[in-house]
Structure 1
Amino acid sequence: MTESARDDSHGGALGERLNWLRAAVLGANDGIVSTAGLVVGVAGATDERASLFTAGMAGLLAGSMSMAAGEYVSVSTQRDSERAALAEEKRELRERPEEELAELAELLERRGLSADVARDAAVQLTERDALRAHARVELGIDPDRLTNPWHAAWASFLAFTAGALLPLLAIVLPPASARLPVTVCSVLAALALTGFSSARLGSAAPGRAVLRNVAGGALAMGVTYAVGTLLGAAGV
């Protein structure tokens, strides 16, 4: 393997790991915000630990299952599209190999190779594995690393659950007088951390990301608490 190919391989693997890590951080962030809004809203209506725990667990399970199912469907659709593209490319290689060879050489030339070098590289890549060459250069697909919907579903489930556990435990473990301040403080601190992490993973300035995340979480908890308080006072 050439040094350039090794760099591409390492860069692709690193990019894939960063994408998964970013998705995990965002999934945990969703778990924090949605569950915090739910339990704080219920806390506005009642301070019964059993009611808070039931509401929090219901939100955790519903949210994690919804995230997992949505991710499974989304990634399954992507995988089907990748397989269809590979099947079409395989058919084209079988029916018009010379045109596909010229197309591969042109694509390599667009990447900065001279015409002669691009043609030689296209011939060598085609002789080694034509479908793999076209998949990577033309389609941007690695046939050995097609997206796995089960991996994505489990990752979303676990990330959301991990995030949701924080506000759930924060609202049920402390004594009644400390539940709300402990939950609000811990949630805002966690949101600051996830905002910072997502910004750094995306190579963006963390200040605005942290501010947006914390403000959004604070607004969600404030609105749900106000609604819970009003409903509780009305005896609903």
Structure 2
Amino acid sequence: MTNYIPHEEEHRSHRSGWLRAAVMGANDGIVSTASLIIGVAAAGSSIESIMLAGVAGLVAGALSMAAGEYVSVSSQSDIERADLAIEKQSLEDNYELEVLELAKIYQERGVEFELAKKVARQLMKHDALGAHARDDIGISEISSAQPFSAAAYSATTFSLGAFLPLLMAWLVPLSWLTISVAISSVIFLALLGMLAAYVGGAPIKIGALRVAFWGAIAMGCTAAVGQLFEVVV
């Protein structure tokens, strides 16, 4: 008898929840804070006003990201709980029909129907609700909503991202502030895109370009608004 040697593969889908929240938070932190700093600087404001706007943007943005992520992911969690409640009641009322429903799913995936029924019965004997949650509804431990972790990741990474352009604005002379913050922020965004692509197993160059491109567009637009405000005033 051949001994079974366990084979484990490294999959990246389990990172999707926290990676999305972390990347979105850091990206928004860099883009929104850098854009705010550049827009205020382009309007001819003092360094004190620029830094005040940047710090206010960091605090407001981090709290907004946390609240937004918590509310949106909590809504997803509410939907999942409601679906599980419906499925639990259906298992109590129509157990045999639920067996056939699960067997039909496995049959559509290529399993012979009689074998599919046996598999469905064994899985449901072990964990009926878990089997239907996974294969019928599409809820798994990996994809299930985690409101608190999503909020924490977003707020923390937003703050870290926002700190980078703020630090650059504080270090450089006012005459170099706009160009320095813009260039450094594009570099930060490109590095963020590369890191996110690497962790997620995506092409690194594409990840860097798409994040840096849209960040540059946002900063360019706010700079134009700042210039327009200065001219109007």
* TM class, shorter-length: 0.7 to 0.9
Shift of 1:209: 4.5
Equivalent in the alignment of 1:83: 81
- The residue type paired with residue 174 of structure 2 is A
What is the aligned counterpart of 2:163 among 153, 162, 165?
Answer: 165
What is the aligned counterpart of 2:217 among 201, 207, 219?
Answer: 219
Shift of 1:131: 1.1
1-structure distance, mates of 2:15, 2:142: 16
2-structure distance, mates of 1:142, 1:215: 35
1-structure distance, mates of 2:60, 2:142: 34
Equivalent in the alignment of 1:131: 129
Equivalent in the alignment of 1:94: 92
Equivalent in the alignment of 1:29: 27
| Aligned counterparts, 1:1-236, within 5 A | 11=11, 14-46=12-44, 48-142=46-140, 146-200=144-198, 204-234=202-232, 236=233
Comparing 50-59 with 141-150, which one deviates more in the overlay? 141-150
Aligned residues: 228
Does the Cα contact within 8 Å between 1:26 and 1:198 map onto a contact in 2? no
Shift of 1:224: 2.0
Shift of 1:93: 0.6
- The residue type paired with residue 54 of structure 1 is L
Comparing 86-95 with 193-202, which one deviates more in the overlay? 193-202
2-structure distance, mates of 1:39, 1:144: 38
Shift of 1:198: 4.0
SS at 1:141's partner residue?
coil
Shift of 1:109: 1.9
Give me the TM-score of the superposition, normalised by structure 1.
Answer: 0.85
Comparing 90-99 with 195-204, which one deviates more in the overlay? 195-204
Shift of 1:142: 3.1
Shift of 1:36: 0.7
- 1:202–1:144 distance in 2 versus 1, CA, 3 Å: closer
- 1:210–1:169 distance in 2 versus 1, CA, 3 Å: same
- 1:188–1:146 distance in 2 versus 1, CA, 3 Å: closer
Q: 1:113-163, CA deviations, whole angstroms, 9 ceiling, x for partnerless residues?
A: 222321111111121121111111111213797422111111111121111
Percent identity, aligned pairs only, is: 46
1-structure distance, mates of 2:59, 2:218: 20
Comparing 128-137 with 174-183, which one deviates more in the overlay? 174-183
Give me the TM-score of the superposition, normalised by structure 2.
Answer: 0.86
CA RMSD of aligned residues (A): 2.6
2-structure distance, mates of 1:144, 1:102: 26
> Any stretches of 5+ residues in structure 2 without a counterpart?
none
- 1:132–1:215 distance in 2 versus 1, CA, 3 Å: closer
Does the Cα contact within 8 Å between 2:80 and 2:139 map onto a contact in 1? yes
2-structure distance, mates of 1:39, 1:135: 47
2-structure distance, mates of 1:54, 1:166: 15
Shift of 1:47: 5.2
